[in-house]
Amino acid sequence: MKLEFIKREVLKEKPADESKLGFGRIFSDYMLMMKYDEAKGGWYYAAIEPYENLSISPAALVFHYAQECFEGMKAYRTADGEVMMFRPWDNVHRMNISGERLCMAPIPEDFLLQSIYELIKVEKDWIPSSPGTSLYIRPTFIGIDPVIGVKAASQYLLYVILSPVGSYYASGLAPVSIYVENKYVRAVKGGTGYTKCGGNYAASLKAGEVAHERGYSQVLWLDGRENKYIDEVGAMNIMFKVNGEVITPELNGSILAGITRDSIIKLARSMGYKVTERRISMQEIADAAENGTLEEVWGTGTAAVVSPVGELIWEDKVIKVGDGGMGKLTLELYNKLTGIQYGREADEMGWTVKL
Ligand SMILES: Cc1ncc(COP(=O)(O)O)c(C=O)c1O
């Protein structure tokens, strides 16, 4: 398969004020489009095309049975104007892991990765350069057979769109307050919790609304069976520093194997910290807060990078983290990771690629 290029006649106006980018509201001139049809022998079309609305049947499987998964990664502008990406091969691979669970067609990972590089090169002028900004990359994979009936599709679209973004949180790096959900669940053993499928997020909206009504910005999910053990936050994995040790929920099939999570575990270990991946109960965290050993809590994710947590509310108990400010290790990890992503720090782990 060859990657085609379809030129756009008129380019869009780029955002003039990078302080007003927000998140995921502005899209660039081009997108990558790949098409699959079993009847045509598999993947048969790949092109960098003008960004525009899709035309697919209202009967398309994705609209009814949610055969869909997606990814999220970023391209960064370094101080000397170069373009970097961070572990994009891991996102492409994770998309295949999600797709496999949803019985979707296997993705040619290297072809997709190289095609994303080409798209970013074409759209490099859309990468903002102010501190904390980046170009968010959203690969999306959908089953589109125009047939009503629950089955795996035989036709797919895989497209990648680009959005220049500012910081994920309007409040910047200020500690967030988190609502521990104990009525609704996000994932159960044997379900799709470990995938990045749209259905997981649709099912999470209800709890998000309740949390917002109560003044909390994010939901912390507990396990779907006993409502006791910590899984993850809405769009982040979660880590705790208790008595000098970093602990984080193990990959148990219910949580997303975050690429930021893995990077932070490795960075913290390289800084000499003991990091343990294991089952953690909410009671254990409440006890640690009570006895003064809950030192820091932070979330990790591509969008928010490393996000300090100032307090958790669990069954009407408010759990304060440290002094409620940004923890020392949280800040160190944030600086170290963003340093690598923006090319300010040496990349000893081989995580970045310059385009
Ligand atoms: C549910 C969920 N958990 C964790 C993460 C963090 O994953 P990553 O670090 O790969 O962005 C995300 C965001 O992608 C997410 O949506």
48-92 tens-digit pLDDT:
999 999 999 999 999 999 999 999 999 999 999 999 999 999 999
In this prediction, residue 316 carries a pLDDT of: 85
> Quick one: which atom of ligand 1 is closest to the CA of 186?
1
In this prediction, residue 325 carries a pLDDT of: 82
Give nearest CA residue, ligand 1 atom 12. 235
Indicate if 144 and 182 belong to the same structural domain. Answer: no
pLDDT digits (tens, 9 = 90+) for 257-288: 999 999 999 999 999 999 999 999 999 999 99
Is residue 259 in contact with ligand 1, taking CB distance under 6 Å? yes
Indicate if 184 and 53 belong to the same structural domain. Answer: no
Domain edge (last residue) among 131, 165, 199: 165
Is residue 72 in contact with ligand 1, taking CB distance under 6 Å? yes
Is residue 258 in contact with ligand 1, taking CB distance under 6 Å? yes
Is residue 127 in contact with ligand 1, taking CB distance under 6 Å? no
Indicate if 255 and 333 belong to the same structural domain. Answer: yes
Indicate if 328 and 255 belong to the same structural domain. Answer: yes
In this predicted structure, the answer to whether residue 131 has a pLDDT above a threshold of 90 is no
Residue 351 included in any domain: no
> Quick one: which atom of ligand 1 is closest to the CA of 262?
9
The stretch 288-307 carries a mean pLDDT of 94
Indicate if 252 and 300 belong to the same structural domain. Answer: yes
Indicate if 205 and 289 belong to the same structural domain. Answer: yes
Q: Cα of 90 to ligand 1 centre, how many Å?
A: 12
Domain edge (last residue) among 135, 165, 195: 165
Question: Which of 260, 262, 334 to probe ligand 1 with, by most ligand atoms within 8 A of CB?
Answer: 260
Indicate if 255 and 148 belong to the same structural domain. Answer: no
> Quick one: which atom of ligand 1 is closest to the CA of 94?
10
> Which of the pair, 332 or 19, is modelled with greater confidence?
332
In this predicted structure, the answer to whether residue 169 has a pLDDT above a threshold of 70 is no
pLDDT digits (tens, 9 = 90+) for 82-127: 999 999 999 999 999 999 999 999 999 999 999 999 999 999 999 9
3-class DSSP string for the chain = CCCEECCCCCCCCCCCCHHHCCCCCCCCCEEEEEEEEHHHCEEEEEEEEECCCCCCCCCCHHHHHCCEEECCEEEEECCCCCEEEECHHHHHHHHHHHHHHCCCCCCCHHHHHHHHHHHHHHCHHHCCCCCCCEEEEEEEEEECCCCCCCCCCCEEEEEEEEEEECCCCCCCCCCEEEEEECCCCCCCCCCCCCCCCHHHHHCCHHHHHHHHHCCCCEEEEECCCCCCEEEEECCEEEEEEECCEEEEECCCCCCCCCHHHHHHHHHHHHCCCCEEEECCEHHHHHHHHHCCCEEEEEEEECCCEEEEEEEEEECCEEEECCCCCCCHHHHHHHHHHHHHHCCCCCCCCCCEEEC
In this predicted structure, the answer to whether residue 172 has a pLDDT above a threshold of 80 is no
Residue 171 included in any domain: no
CATH number at residue 44: 3.30.470.10
Q: Cα of 193 to ligand 1 centre, how many Å?
A: 11
> Quick one: which atom of ligand 1 is closest to the CA of 302?
11
> What pTM value is reported for the model?
0.96
CATH number at residue 324: 3.20.10.10
In this prediction, residue 322 carries a pLDDT of: 85
Indicate if 148 and 102 belong to the same structural domain. Answer: yes
Give nearest CA residue, ligand 1 atom 16. 235
Q: Cα of 302 to ligand 1 centre, how many Å?
A: 7
Residue 232 included in any domain: yes
Residue 299 included in any domain: yes
> Quick one: which atom of ligand 1 is closest to the CA of 73?
11
8 Å CB contact between 300 and 308? no
The stretch 196-211 carries a mean pLDDT of 95
> Quick one: which atom of ligand 1 is closest to the CA of 200?
1
What range defines the domain where residue 225 resides?
176-341
Closest by Cα among 56, 55, 54, 50 to 27 = 50
In this predicted structure, the answer to whether residue 171 has a pLDDT above a threshold of 60 is no
Domain edge (last residue) among 110, 131, 165: 165
Number of domains in the chain: 2
Indicate if 161 and 280 belong to the same structural domain. Answer: no
Is residue 256 in contact with ligand 1, taking CB distance under 6 Å? yes
Q: Cα of 257 to ligand 1 centre, how many Å?
A: 7
Residue 140 included in any domain: yes
Give nearest CA residue, ligand 1 atom 5. 236
Indicate if 94 and 216 belong to the same structural domain. Answer: no
Residue 185 included in any domain: yes
